[in-house]
Amino acid sequence: MAEETHWEGVENTIEDPEEERVIFKALDSFLQYAKITHFNCTHQRRQAFYALPEAHWRRLAAPPFNYLETLDKVDEAIDSNADLGKAIVKAGLPAFLRVQQTTPGQEHVLPPQWAGQAKYQDVEKARSTIRQFYRDWSAEGARERDACYSPVIKTLLDERSRRQAPDQQQQQQLPPRLKVLVPGAGLGRLVFELCRNGFEAEGNEISYHQLLASSYILNFCPAVGHHSIYPWVHTFSNHRSRANHLRGYPVPDIHCAAELTRAEQDNGFIGSMGMVAADFLCLYSDKDHAETYDAVASVFFLDTAPNLIRYLETIHHCLKPGGLLINNGPLLWHFENNAPGSRDADGDTDTTGIADPGSFELTDDEVMALVEQVGFVIERRETDCHAPYIHDTESMLSTTYRSSFWVARKPETCLKET
């Protein structure tokens, strides 16, 4: 079986005071999730409830409404979500503490100077990360994963078969080990699936919320269904029934180590996987990453670019000649209303996309024209692909992307990059 490796990178980041601040605020935000969410979701609603005329709140407190019981159940759901957040911190915290040894049986704790430092935006990222477990690590999220990940995986499997000579297939030799980069890897499910299918998968992610969560689920979570998450409890709008509002989902749907063992036994081989914490442009545009990867799998990633030209140039730079860029996603340009380097609601500088100032937005047709200008050859394109994203199928409100799926190849012979 492929060697199990935990996400590393502490030594290169912890000495940077700004990086240390971001890391510990991310950890603290998972711990503060329960307190902030209880206040926003139930405490304020109880206050508003008792501000009603007594006859009205008494009617709503009785069957069939049982509104106060609903708030109690929401509190329980928030606590269950918070248990996952605490597990993420418990697994991730030791990697970032300079003093690694503790008394036997004693758990690592957040350094006091960082306790309570997370701000509202940090806690919102923790909440969003917990909700994303529905998409990437629940059985019910398989529909979303199939829509977004399966076309990418199938394209890579076809490419691997194309590169394996017919005589090698007849001799049942192992297929070529294609090296695939997954920028914006999030909670790591696509990286895991590529590994399970025999690819050398490298995920890249800048968000420590996502990195901490993916590290926990890939390396430390002890069993299938170890946690229950309640992704819909944060809002009280557009629910057809209270049962749906309070619906929980067991996560994860698989145990990663067990699944990789099973895949190796069934197929005779598996790939490898790793996660790298870095700004995509800063890391992959350097000389060490030139012509390194057989493919780049871009899923819901390109629209995070403030400057798409730089993204595409970096991908072109790190692909081997003949390598593939496989894209699936919408164009929700993340910087449309928030220029890189601007300050967020808490007054902090937004560090997403730190490698490049300036921003612009293109249409899908314009993106395709730019892809060709950068030097790719478009081999396949599909539009209007149904792509739900953390979609409550029972909600009275439906928001689904019509994503663009396309495959572009770096020519075997191209001008030498300078």
Q: Which residue type occupies 106?
A: Q
Measure CA of the first residue to CA of the last residue in the chain; give whole Å.
40
CB contact at 8 A, 404 and 329: yes
Residue recorded with tokens 């490698």: 355
Q: Tell me, what's the pLDDT at 346?
A: 56
Instruction: Round to whole Å and give the CA distance between 126 and 128.
Output: 5
Among candidate residues 145, 207, 149, 210, the one with its CA nearest the CA of residue 180? 149
Q: In this predicted structure, what is the pLDDT of residue 100?
A: 47
Question: Taking Cα atoms as reference points, which of 375, 377, 176, 202 lies closest to residue 292?
Answer: 202
Structure tokens at 80: 């269950």
- pLDDT score at 385: 96
At 415 the pLDDT is 55
Q: Which residues are registered as beta bridge partners of 402? A: 386
**Structure confidence at residue 174 (pLDDT):** 76
Question: What's residue 295's pLDDT?
Answer: 98
The predicted pLDDT at position 16 comes to 76
Per-residue pLDDT tens digits of the chain, which is 418 residues long: 334 444 443 334 456 788 889 999 999 999 999 999 999 999 999 999 999 999 999 999 999 999 999 999 999 999 999 999 999 999 998 877 654 445 555 667 888 888 889 999 999 999 999 999 999 999 999 999 999 999 999 999 999 999 987 766 556 677 889 999 999 999 999 999 999 999 999 999 999 999 999 999 999 999 999 999 999 999 999 999 999 999 999 999 999 999 999 999 998 899 999 999 999 999 999 999 999 999 999 999 999 999 999 999 999 999 999 999 999 999 999 999 876 655 555 555 554 555 567 899 999 999 999 999 999 999 999 999 999 999 999 999 998 999 999 999 999 986 554 4
- Where helices occur in 39-165 by DSSP H, the ranges are 44-50, 54-61, 67-92, 120-137, 142-148, 150-163
AA identity, residue 315: I
Q: Can you give the pLDDT at residue 171? A: 60
Are 38 and 71 within 8 A, CB to CB? no
Contact 62, 55 (CB under 8 A): no
CA distances from 364 to 307, 333, 361, 404 (A): 15, 11, 10, 8
d(CA 26, CA 125): 8
pLDDT of residue 8: 42
The whole-number pLDDT of residue 356 equals: 67
Report the DSSP pairing between strands 227-229 and 249-251.
Answer: antiparallel
Residue 408 · residue 376 · CB < 8 Å: yes
Show the tokens assigned to 264.
């190796």
Q: Give this prediction's pTM.
A: 0.90
Residue 10 CA, distance from chain mean position: 20
| Chain CA centroid to CA 366, Å | 27
- Cis-peptide, bond into residue 151, ω within 30° of zero: no
